[in-house]
Structure 1
């Protein structure tokens, strides 16, 4: 989805040549920028105030039809091909995106989702064709829900509620050059651990095509899950238990 939850990862891609990692580009510092798009689906449940759990089932068609604004970009900085940092921002603002039967009527749910990831990584393994990074950091969530009920037992009403939190995250990612044009990559992480959400996870994998040392295109499949409950009761309660998944397409430039 233009995701969301999501943050998405265009794995750091060494230049497509068979040279040692630290000799591929004669720079102490290297920078990567990668705008991307996720044709996502969001499924799960939400709970706001004293309302019962409301199903969320937003498909790619719903997102494209109701998208008010969205943007996704990833940046990375690496020092001497050994340590680095990465920042990923994914924002999506939907109008009324999903319609759920409830209480004799229907509840229409709109979602605004910002996911920001900040990670540091260490290159634990490197050969001319392969690299493996271990990373850790935080995943920031800012979720706002708009619920519009019509014809329910409780009448017609509109409720807007949201929350934000930061989950600690640890993970690993791997990259492999098949030849001078094609590569494959994968990433997985877990987090939350009760510090904010009960649990969050992310997995993604795909392939890349390298036009030259600077430009490459990437196609992946990504799934990002979270199970969050603010632990409050009554009108202040808020819960968000969803999985955002779908194909990711991006362009990366390395400098």
Structure 2
């Protein structure tokens, strides 16, 4: 997550510096897809997602030179969700298999820095690749299956702030918004965390992240919300 990479206040030496942040994000998931019989929505708790998760990996990287920074953040998850159908007795069960790949890139500029606070403004993009496989088990009607898949790019604007609470403890906040109907109808995310700085090179953070995507895929309105705790560490070099 990009917010894991906030550089310590007053730590902007001349020349390039780099930071790598592997992290674990275990969000609950809400997926909804429009069908001819109504909207099918599946809500999964954090525990459900962990049990249904097939594969996931995630990590972030930042390169900084003075006030300027370049940031990349990658998230990938593949999971299945099943529930009683919300379409009455027409179908007995609904299952949505979701594969999501999100690659975000930002250029940031530090617009404010004091002894304990640093604020970056950012602009960039997010490459979204989403595959949804919706299956409706037979009820009064025969079973149905729909495959929806699309890759698109959203423009983004955002900001990040870091607050040094003590010499070791700090808080970080991050938000972005984008899409604006050029890709997604709307996409946004927020993140907040507390962290501990072991030394100039190593730190760890834990917090909460929420990502929302609204998009029309293959003529059907689709919404995906990812919402849950995140834990990661950062090494700078």
TM-score (norm 1): 0.85
Distance 1:43 1:146, change over 3 A: same
The residue aligned with 1:158 is 145
- Give 1:132 deviation, angstroms: 0.3
Query: Residues 63-108 of structure 1, C-alpha deviation per residue, up to 9 Å, x if partnerless?
Result: 211211100000000012x1011000000011x3232413241111
- 2:59 counterpart (66, 73, 89): 73
Equivalent residue in structure 2 for 1:193, among 162, 171, 180: 180
Secondary structure at 1:53 match in 2: strand
Give the aligned partner of residue 7 of structure 2.
14
CA contact 2:12–2:65 (8 Å) conserved in 1: no
Matched residue of 2:50: which SS? helix
What is the correspondence of 1:23-172 to structure 2 with a 5 Å cutoff? 23=13, 27-47=14-34, 50=36, 52-80=38-66, 82-94=67-79, 96-101=80-85, 102=87, 103-172=90-159
For the residues of structure 1 that align with 2:5 and 2:116, how far apart are their CA atoms? 13
Q: CA deviation at 1:237?
A: 2.0
Q: Please state which structure has a larger fraction of its residues in strand.
A: 2
User: Displaced runs of 4+ in structure 1, greater than 4 A?
Assistant: none
The 2-side partners of 1:220 and 1:46 are apart by: 29
Shift of 1:181: 1.0
Give unmatched runs, 5+ long, in structure 2. Answer: none
Question: Structure 2: how far apart are the matches of 1:141 and 1:38?
Answer: 17
Alpha-carbon offset, residue 44 of structure 1: 4.3
Give the distance between the partners of 2:7 and 2:23, measured in 1 at CA: 19
Say whether 1:242 aligns with 2:221: no
CA RMSD of aligned residues (A): 1.8
Change in CA separation of 1:190 and 1:140 when aligned onto 2, cut-off 3 Å: same
Q: What secondary structure is seen at the aligned counterpart in 1 of 2:12?
A: helix
Q: Any idea what the Cα deviations from partners look like across 1:159-208, whole Å, max 9, x if unmatched?
A: 32211211111011100111111000101121111111111111111110
